[in-house]
Copies of this chain bind each other. A is one copy, B any other.
């Protein structure tokens, strides 16, 4: 588990986490950290996934997005089969270092979503009324399949 992982610094106090430069990522009870992937050009959120310590270490070392598939319980190099590999332009962490943000470009077809869309976020939730089970999503501006 990540607690004894020598690849990352041990978690310090609040001041250390927020204001220091030691990388002290927090992995949750399942050994995972959330990872947000945005398009380095447009800023659109492309996908959201999870990393274990191995996936995070590989992403840092190679500059290519690696994740942990919770359904397959396996390390997952995004795009390994499709060719739609994520080339990381910048990797950031947040104030308490329990999330990472990948600014990336998508190689191959430029498609990040397994449904064939550029982004996984292709539907919008209408705002301004109390939700009910009948609430209908709308297609977002860029919902086309590639």
Residues of A at the B interface (CB closer than 8 Å) are 6-10, 18-19, 21-23, 34, 36, 38-39, 42-45, 47-48, 56-57, 60-61, 63, 88, 90-95, 99-101, 113-115, 117, 120-140
Contacts and interface: CB of A to CB of B under 8 A. Distances in A.
B21 A91 contact: no
Given A45-B101, A61-B130, A136-B22, A95 B124 contact: no
Q: Assembly of this chain: how many copies?
A: 2
Contacts of A43: 38-39, 42-44
Pick from A61, A90, A92 the residue with the most CB of B within 10 Å.
Answer: A92
B48 A38 contact: no
Given A43-B43, A138-B21, A133 B92 contact: no
B92 A131 contact: no
A66 B131 CA distance: 14
Contacts of A42: 43
Contacts of A138: 21
Contact of A125 (B91, B129, B131, B133): B91
Given A61-B128, A92-B124, A113-B95, A137 B38 contact: no
Nearest to A100: B125
Contacts of A21: 123, 136-139
Which 8 pairs across A and B sit closest by C-beta, in order of nearness?
Answer: A43-B43, A94-B120, A92-B121, A91-B125, A21-B137, A48-B99, A95-B120, A63-B127
